[in-house]
Structure 1
Amino acid sequence: MEAAMTTSAGMMERPEHVPADRVFDFDIYRDVPEGMDFHQSWRETMANAPYPLMWTPHNGGHWVALRADVSDTVMSDFERFSNHTVLVPKDTAGEAYRLIPLSLDPPEHRPFRNLLNENLGPKPLKPMEQVVVDLAVSLIDGFKENGRCNFTHEFAEQFPVRIFMRIVDLPVEDLPTLKHLADQYTRPDGSVPLDEVTQRFRDYLRPIIATRRASPGEDMISRMINGQIGGRPLSDFEAENICIQVLVGGLDTVVNMLGFIFSYLARDHDLRRAIAADLSRIDDALLEFFRRFPVVSSSREIMRGGIRGRAAQAGGYGYGADGGRRHGRCHERRSPGISAGTQGPCPLHLWQGLAYVPRCASGADGNEDRLAGMVCAYS
């Protein structure tokens, strides 16, 4: 019998089909060890694992891909690895996070993904370009006289979410509540049951969706919920799901990415000074940062014979954690900011970071405009 059982310590017993030498002690929600940053911690995990695919008993028990080629196979093979479960533990977080388009498999995924792309590409965000730069400058002016700042609290947690709230035309006063709910998916503290998190989002969005269907505005929510999928309007349930996904992505992803990028810049003095001296390097630097710091972990549920069997397990993958060093087709360590036409970002790595990863509302196109303004102001 292969059915695994939960131990008294809350960890899953090793199923019979999992070899003993493929088991390791890994918890994706653990704190980063003291003295390490997030990516160093992942690299150490990868370096110490005897195989590129390992199984952990934590969070309901799941497989973990530890090399880029393994991750690429899983992320691109939707017939064997379903998008149905995108978070672990599968029975709690995975069941609660059935949002659109992340939890959909092809061909259903593509029309919803296109709807997001159409409403968060460079064109719809172009009118906000000066707003982005002005906000970045204003935030920096607020602490530059001190000669130092807590970058996370004074900039990263302020800049992207304020821009995002303008994009979706929601009151800034609602930010604390929405951010707290979004965080329960990605870093749950146990204060709100996960099924209640989703319901609170629905309760918040339902009257907003009804109002903007009756009287659409120019905001992203209005454009999305009044769009069409395959020639038909979105159902109320679909509209709620895609809006929750937009809120979670917009209030979480960019905050984390900013922290990673500026931590890197703070330690690489030559690169920081080179970008400040030649702003034409910004675009290449951003593309490389998106590749290196995609801020994504994703899960896939194993499909057997077209169904989700009892023995199916979710797998977790940390994208960009190794800085692209383990991909079989490119082993170069590329430096952000290299000018175009010389040694620009490896296309394979770039697309691994931007297209293979199922980004939500804060996708690469939207982030690039916001981060470009921020880097210009910072430089």
Structure 2
Amino acid sequence: MERPAHVPAELVRPYPFKLRGARSWDLPRTMIPEIQTYPPIFWAENMHEMLPGAWVPRSMEALRAIYMDTEHFTVKGTSGFAQMIGQEWYSIPHESDPPLHSKYRMLLNPMFAPKHIARLEEHIREFARERLLELRPRGHCDFVADFAFEFPIRVFLELMGMPQHDMATFLAWEHAILRSAEQEPVTEALAKIVDYLAEQCEDRRSNPCDDLITLAVQGEIEGRKLDDDELIGFCFNLFVGGLDTVSTNMSNHFRHLAENPADQDFLRANPERIGDAIDELMRAYAAVTTIRLCTQDTVVEGIEMKAFDLVLMPTHLAANDPVAFPEPEKVDFTRKPRHVSFGYGPHLCIGMHLAKREMRIAMEEALAILPPFRLAEGAEIESFLSGIIGPTELPLVWEG
């Protein structure tokens, strides 16, 4: 499609991290230094065959400015999931704008507060330990398939009050929605998920439990109950946000430890530093790109944007901005990074404390249970570049 007239030709740049279906055998981090030579905001015109392109802020300053500007940029409807199956719900609170966004978050805040999440620690640790003890005698695993996807799904099912035997079904749905390059498997899985979540919401109306679905069904905003579309949006947001982001980040982190034995040895000897290490790994291997839609003409960092322009929000570029983080290519566990891997401003991830706890516990238990691990000899790893950046598989091996 033609470049819009208001986009200067000198701001157009090639960009490998497309909206859907992009993969690479190169380590994604190696692509970032060249992009950091681009203007602070540039135009990528190869994002999707149905779109003319999108603005991409590559600097931390530009990204944060757009995160904070809810007057000119909206998140509503940017995932496109409901529209794919002819429905009109939005992921809540992810696809809501202020002031309604803050009201949705107030409903959820008690369940995601650090004090409440701390109560889940033993359950989360039990899930991790049980699976890792199963894997240890094998001497090898595909970390992505054998642990990174299964572990957060078990935590999600526990939070939602859903049976653990549904794990395989959720795995299949998650892969179809977030990893399929073709449209048909995505829409089929979406329809099944929405039907399943609707059934769960209906069940909680008559059979309340101590879980997040019951919280949503019984909760109120502005003196009213959530309607059916809001309930679906609430549950779907937890499904997407609680699964793929955690599993992909864990996969990136464990790949780093497998490829950098000195860092792995350091954390084995200093497990109390694992929390700091995860913060730095979240920066170095920031994985998530969200989307904003420009609602009215505006200027950001001297760049003229028009209403209906699409803006990609790549945390991996901001996290490797040398202005914000000196020598960003280095992974330094003594760094105290103020990264944006969980978002920024009004849309700071509400599940951040849970996600960090899951990742910390998984690493603590893995380093305690598994012998030193490395990539399988000759392993070539393909990475997803669209949406959430991470390895398609991660073959690890160990002795003993």
TM-score (norm 2): 0.78
Contact 1:68 1:326 (8 Å CA) reproduced: yes
Deviation at 1:366, TM superposition (A): 0.5
Correspondence for 1:207 among 199, 204, 217:
199
Deviates more, 1:135-144 or 1:94-103: 94-103
Deviation at 1:245, TM superposition (A): 0.8
1:316 aligned residue: 312
Deviation at 1:316, TM superposition (A): 1.0
Correspondence for 1:132 among 124, 129, 140:
124
CA distances 1:24-51 after superposition (whole Å, capped 9, x unpaired): 34324353332x223333x055146456
Contact 2:56 2:313 (8 Å CA) reproduced: yes
Task: Measure, in 1, the Cα distance between the counterparts of 2:84 and 2:216.
Answer: 28
Task: Measure, in 2, the Cα distance between the counterparts of 1:94 and 1:268.
Answer: 47
Q: Structure 1 residues 92, 169: CA separation in 2 closer, same or farther (over 3 Å shift)?
A: closer
Q: Structure 1 residues 134, 193: CA separation in 2 closer, same or farther (over 3 Å shift)?
A: closer
1:190 aligned residue: 182
Q: Aligned to 2:140, what secondary structure does the other structure show?
A: coil
Q: Structure 1 residues 168, 126: CA separation in 2 closer, same or farther (over 3 Å shift)?
A: same
Q: Aligned to 2:289, what secondary structure does the other structure show?
A: strand
Q: Aligned to 2:98, what secondary structure does the other structure show?
A: coil
Correspondence for 2:341 among 353, 359, 377:
353
Contact 1:81 1:300 (8 Å CA) reproduced: yes
2:4 aligned residue: 15
Contact 2:284 2:320 (8 Å CA) reproduced: no
Task: Measure, in 1, the Cα distance between the counterparts of 2:221 and 2:322.
Answer: 36
Q: Structure 1 residues 186, 316: CA separation in 2 closer, same or farther (over 3 Å shift)?
A: farther
2:382 aligned residue: none
Q: Tell me if 1:326 matches 2:316.
A: no
Deviation at 1:228, TM superposition (A): 2.1
Query: What root-mean-square deviation, in Å, do the aligned CA atoms of Structure 1 and Structure 2 show?
Result: 3.2
Correspondence for 1:70 among 58, 62, 67:
62
What are the residue-to-residue correspondences of 1:206-355 with 2, within 5 Å? 206-304=198-296, 312-319=308-315, 321-322=316-317, 324-326=319-321, 328-331=323-326, 333=328, 335=331, 337-338=333-334, 344-346=335-337, 349-350=338-339, 352-355=340-343
Task: Measure, in 2, the Cα distance between the counterparts of 1:176 and 1:291.
Answer: 31
Q: Write the letter of the residue equivalent to 2:206.
A: A
CA distances 1:313-358 after superposition (whole Å, capped 9, x unpaired): 2111211x147331644425474543xxxxx513xx24x2334184
CA distances 1:153-197 after superposition (whole Å, capped 9, x unpaired): 111122111122111121234334434444454333325376665
Q: Write the letter of the residue equivalent to 1:38.
A: P
Task: Measure, in 1, the Cα distance between the counterparts of 2:175 and 2:257.
Answer: 26
Contact 1:245 1:360 (8 Å CA) reproduced: no
Indicate the percent of aligned positions where both proteins have the same amino acid: 24
Gaps of 5+ in 1: 1-11, 339-343
CA distances 1:49-106 after superposition (whole Å, capped 9, x unpaired): 4563223143212222222222111111111111124347998699978321122111
Gaps of 5+ in 2: 299-304, 368-400
Q: Tell me if 1:376 matches 2:364.
A: yes
1:8 aligned residue: none
Q: Structure 1 residues 223, 20: CA separation in 2 closer, same or farther (over 3 Å shift)?
A: same
Correspondence for 2:45 among 16, 40, 56:
56
Deviation at 1:219, TM superposition (A): 1.4
Correspondence for 2:136 among 131, 144, 148:
144
1:109 aligned residue: 101
Contact 1:85 1:301 (8 Å CA) reproduced: no
Deviation at 1:259, TM superposition (A): 0.5
2:355 aligned residue: 367
Q: Structure 1 residues 337, 47: CA separation in 2 closer, same or farther (over 3 Å shift)?
A: closer
Q: Specify which structure has the higher proportion of strand.
A: 2
Task: Measure, in 2, the Cα distance between the counterparts of 1:188 and 1:112.
Answer: 30
Deviation at 1:122, TM superposition (A): 2.9
- Identify which of structures 1 and 2 has the higher relative contact order when contacts are C-alpha pairs closer than 8 Å and 6+ apart: 2
